[in-house]
Amino acid sequence: MTARAMRVPASWENRMRYLGAASLIAVLAIGLSVSTAIASGDPVKGKRVAKKCTACHTMNKGGKNRLGPSLYGIVNQPAAAVPGYRYSKAMKASGVVWTEPALSAFFAKPKKFMKGTKMSFRGIKSAQQRADLIAYLKTLGDTAPAAANHGDPTKGKVAAVEHCAVCHSFEAGGKLVFGPNLFDTHGKPAARDSDYDYSDALKSAGLVWTDANLTEFMANPEQFLKGTKARFPGVKDANTRADIAAYLRTLK
């Protein structure tokens, strides 16, 4: 991330209350300092790796919660969503969506990924084993995942100007406005700009800005991340959100 030309002395998220601008607040502000690159996994091998998990988790449909919640259908689901399980406060407040990068980071070292988690497992050091485990978990669901909408970056640029430009710059070395510069942020750790004053909720959320997390946040920031100071009501159209995410992928 390039150096920023100015520091915003007050929270831009609070200022939005007075601006009344229809802009996308804090599209990128939470994350984890891990790579989003995930190796190709083998679900057959992953089923063997999953034996590390079965002491605490069930994986079958309708499986009971044990020391940990059931893992059936967990991929791409929000954290702390399994009925009947008593999650830690950290997990309930995290706003994490269990995308492949988030799962891989959590499996690598749970307590580093999320401070305050009840998870006592030391982690899986091998990136390939983590990828295999995730590939297996992806098979545990009632239906095949829907095809991803990868968006149109040309349309996304227009939408980003409409929804985001009041608070964000997009070019390399762009100034801080009310929100952080969005250049080269897709797939990167958020809350990583030392010149920007992020909210505590965003700094501690433990997410990487994948397409899934971006589009979920853009849909409804406060629902996605409890404790965020963002007051933007969201971009309701799923195609528009996908287009904006596609545009942000081009900003490298």
> pLDDT tens, 166-205?
888 899 888 888 888 889 888 877 777 778 888 888 788 7
DSSP sequence for 122-188: -----HHHHHHHHHHHTT-SSSPPPPP----HHHHHHHHHHHHTTT---STTPPP-SS---TT-TTS
**Sequence ranges of the chain with CATH classification 1.10.760.10:** 12-32+148-249, 43-137
pLDDT at 25 exceeding the cut of 60: no
Place 51 in a pLDDT band, splitting at 50, 70 and 90.
very high
Helix, strand or coil, per DSSP, at residue 189: strand
Q: Which CATH class is domain 12-32+148-249?
A: mainly alpha
Alpha-carbon distance 64 to 69, whole Å?
Answer: 8
Asked if residue 24 has pLDDT above 80, the reply is no
149 pLDDT tier (thresholds 50, 70, 90): low
CATH class of 43-137: mainly alpha
Contact between 213 and 132 under an 8 Å Cβ cutoff? The reply is no
> Which residues are CB-contacts of 136 (< 8 A; sequence separation ≥ 6)?
41, 43, 44, 45, 46, 47, 49, 50
pLDDT digits (tens, 9 = 90+) for 206-221: 777 777 778 878 888 7
Angle at which helices 238-249 and 153-164 pack, to 10 degrees? 100
Per the structure block, which two tokens stand in for 223?
Answer: 């629902």
pTM of the model: 0.47
